[in-house]
Amino acid sequence: MSNEPYLPARDVKVERAVGRFIIAWGALEREIDSAIHDLLFTNLSTGMIVTANLAMRAKLDLVHALFETLRCEDGAVWRPISEDWEARFDKLVNMTAKANAEARIPI
């Protein structure tokens, strides 16, 4: 028996798709981090400290909680949010959380 780890046969289409997924996931995570920084009304350095070691589920929970808190405060700092936009935001958070959970299922 070999001590080498098993690697499946190379499949360029699969490798390209996995690479594209990783790039897209990184872009999504960067956008969520940016939303957290904005919702905390902080600068980039402080925001990076807050998000640096958070798992995706924790980031989603944090951005959702910050959004909910600011949305409910009197004298909100932005224009009223439409019910449609709220529904799309909640759907996006839920879809991202689902994709994050499914990506962790062992093969």
pLDDT confidence of residue 86: 72
Query: Which tokens is 80 given?
Result: 């009223």
pLDDT tens, position by position, 4-28? 888 888 889 888 888 888 888 888 8
Which DSSP string corresponds to 42-61? --HHHHHHHHTT--HHHHHH
CA–CA distance, 89 with 68 (Å, rounded to integer): 11
- The residue among 11, 13, 62 whose CA lies nearest residue 39 is 62
Residue 107: exposed, middle, or buried by beta-carbon count in 10 A (0-12, 13-18, 19+)?
A: exposed
Q: What is the pTM of this model?
A: 0.66
